Amino acid sequence: MRRTPPLIAGGGPAGAAAAIALARAGVRATLLEKGDGTGDAICGGFLSWATLDRLGHLGIDAPALGGHAVSRLALFLGGREHVLTLPGPALGLSRRRLDSALLARAAAQGAEVRRVAIRSAEGRALTLVSGERLSCETLFLATGKHDLRGLARPKDAASPDPELGLRCRLPPASQSARLIADRIELHLFDRGYLGLVLQEDGSANACLAVRKSRLAEAGGDPATLMTQLADAAPALADRLAGFDAATRFDAIGHVPYGWRARSSGPGIFRLGDQAAVIPSLAGEGIGIALASADLAVRHWLSQGPEGAAAYQRQFARAARRPLAMAGLLKALAARPALAALPAALIASVPGTAALMARLTRI
């Protein structure tokens, strides 16, 4: 049966990976992306060994994009540092560079990439900000952290203390470069964590997941929060030396960590963060985005739009274990007093760190 190519809403890792996989199967999808390629996503920019492997299969040689090699994880809590060797080589890379490479690859393979913003959706009918209307037989919904009006994920309205994502770029500095070199660092604090990794240009990506109540204690100002955290932890103060209080932060509210789509509308395939949101300290969100795109395209190629329901169920099942394990680690990490013992055990018992890392991969 002849099928019309899907529309892809969103050109982050999930949408771009779907466009590449479709193009490889001879299907020229249209991808709609609102960004103009100059901004950067709210993301730690940590690419795990498993994610690098998936990128390789898409024809993206991430190390060749100039990222910063990472082989260890350093966990800071309660004044102690626990260093774990990662199961495989990883990378710190800015999302701008990664997303640009993925979209360029999609276009080179034959996908149509349009730089337009979608205002809303009514099922598979999209209205662009320009007023243009597009409808399709199949929609790959890959708008990631941002919900599309009409197809939004359920709001966790019940949460009295929602979680927020914050990100800023720390300019290259020799002291922090020396301290962070070769590692991804997670600095745990009450109701959140701060992740640090070096990127391709020597700057450090600082990313925080934090409860709203904790940010409120810093007057709602991310820079004040950073300063308070540094004041309380000398190791972090060393890394943030010279931190400029005027630094610009990107923020996203109400991150629905742990959410999974178990069903979707007819002909609608939810990918990436629209399919499953893994707690970010696991560093597996991009891996999930790529894995969902791969599975969705395989379902679509064999069953067309009717494959959406089976895809969504199968992906929800596949995401259950990594989300549950990452959720457990996040719950512990948010209470440093509880996390100290497990962290010491993980760091000292051989094989435990590798097992944890494996259990949080899709």
Ligand X SMILES: Cc1cc2nc3c(=O)[nH]c(=O)nc-3n(C[C@H](O)[C@H](O)[C@H](O)COP(=O)(O)OP(=O)(O)OC[C@H]3O[C@@H](n4cnc5c(N)ncnc54)[C@H](O)[C@@H]3O)c2cc1C
Q: Which residues bind ligand X (CB under 6 A)?
A: 10-15, 32-35, 41-46, 51, 117-118, 142-146, 148, 165, 207, 209, 255, 272-273, 280, 283-287, 289
Strand-pairing partners, residue 90, are 70
Q: What is the nearest approach in angstroms of ligand X to the Cβ of residue 21?
A: 14
For ligand X, give the closer residue by CB, 44 or 307: 44
Joined tokens for residue 193: 């964590």
Q: Are 7 and 126 in contact (CB under 8 A)?
A: yes
Q: Please name the helix (run of DSSP H) or strand (run of DSSP E) that holds residue 336, with its range, or none.
A: helix 336-348
Joined tokens for residue 204: 């450090």
For ligand X, give the closer residue by CB, 107 or 340: 107
Q: What is the nearest approach in angstroms of ligand X to the Cβ of residue 119?
A: 7
For ligand X, give the closer residue by CB, 165 or 222: 165
For ligand X, give the closer residue by CB, 185 or 273: 273
Length of the chain: 362
Q: What is the nearest approach in angstroms of ligand X to the Cβ of residue 349?
A: 25
Q: Please name the helix (run of DSSP H) or strand (run of DSSP E) that holds residue 302, with its range, or none.
A: helix 285-303
CA–CA distance, 177 with 202 (Å, rounded to integer): 7
Q: What is the nearest approach in angstroms of ligand X to the Cβ of residue 41?
A: 5
Q: What is the nearest approach in angstroms of ligand X to the Cβ of residue 331?
A: 17
For ligand X, give the closer residue by CB, 287 or 305: 287
DSSP state of 6: P
Q: Are 264 and 299 in contact (CB under 8 A)?
A: no
Q: What is the nearest approach in angstroms of ligand X to the Cβ of residue 334?
A: 14
Q: What is the nearest approach in angstroms of ligand X to the Cβ of residue 308?
A: 17
The DSSP code sequence of 54-68 is HHHHTT--GGGGTPE
For ligand X, give the closer residue by CB, 206 or 233: 206
What are the C-alpha distances in Å from 336 to residues 50, 61, 188, 240? 28, 37, 7, 21
Residue type, 270: R
For ligand X, give the closer residue by CB, 79 or 260: 260
Strand-pairing partners, residue 169, are 205
